Structure 1
Amino acid sequence: MHASAGLPSGAAAYAVMPAPRVGAQVADYRLGPLDVLSVTVFQEPDLSFDKLQVDASGNVSFPLIGTVHAQGKTASELSDDIAARLGKKYLVDPQVSVTVVSSVSQNVTVEGDVKEPGVYPVNGQSTLLQALAQAQSPTDVAKLDQVVIFRNIDGKRAGAVFNVKAIREGRAPDPQVLGGDVIVVGFDAVKGGFRDLLKTAPFFNLFRYF
């Protein structure tokens, strides 16, 4: 059987792995060690930084309030944490904005019919096309309608099939890629890499978890 058979495609695929929300700034991205952040405190230039790195322990050192734990939080959650701590003693209603400049804590694996298979960093909010570009794009023989993203969702492994040709032509959204995702391009690569797993593991629900 085709390894992608039974996995959701079309609209059902986007129900599992949606495109980024318009205007969302890495809303679902969880910060990790060595990520580089931009922190802005409104009208407080001495408390604003173009680049502030999360240390190996998952913390950032911030003026006035000292060590702030960042690992596992979203940028929005860290913004709220810094604002709350500044507001306790130092500022009245501080407005804090945190964005991800670059990430080394999250990676995506790209396999199959691409020119440079490998493991690549997810920089902030990334998409399928961006991940494929990091792998130097699919080969000439790649089956662009058989690109599968595998992801752990709620402790279960899920897969969804996307049509890269339709995405490139603007006929379908570009799905978001998260750290830990595995992207497999082309029928042969999918079959070779996941055939046994798909045959032996149970499926759950409409979304075909395994």
Structure 2
Amino acid sequence: MMVSSRRRIMFANPPRARSIEELGGASIPERKFFGVDGVHHDGPEPGQAPKHGASRPARAERSRREAPVRRASWALPPRASSVPAGRHLVIAQLADWGLDEQSDVAQLLVSELLANALRHGWGEPILTLSSHGNTLRCEIKDDNPTPPPAPQICDADHTAEAGRGLQLVQLLSRSWGCNGCSAGKIVWFELPVQPMSASGA
């Protein structure tokens, strides 16, 4: 079989692949994945691992599922009956939020902080409960800027009251503290709880 000289030249010098720049500089459009819902997704196609962490839809879904911040606050009269009243408010509010698991500890520590506020504080104590994710926070505000007495380890026959309430707070809470504010101070503690669902009451 005879091969023409023209074809021999073509085989000897095959056409060179040209670069994108030689073709006019046009870039190849990025491939996009459209899910079964017809919505464009920035993540990889099914079966492929993401290149740089979670995709934006995954981050948005995670953010959407985050538990909301819930808050309740009450101003109580500066008298002894506010201690049991505050206890009942804590029980009712935690039941409403579905956080009964820490109701016993929370009401005990709130009672101690309210008693301290009535004994050493000024004005009406303000009880505030807040819950976010896996944390329950309880605060007692009063108008006296002086920090409460430090927690004390008391002997069985020790009768002094100073510091006894805060000793319980220190032992039973995950964390606690005292913050100054524009008018007085806020004594607070935090307890761990199970995260609430976003659709909870």
The TM-score by the shorter chain falls in which range?
A: under 0.3
- Relative to the length of structure 1, the TM-score reads 0.21
Task: From the CA coordinates, give the structure whose radius of gyration is larger.
Answer: 2
Which has the higher relative contact order, 1 or 2, with Cα contacts under 8 A spaced 6 or more apart? Answer: 1
TM-score by length of 2: 0.21
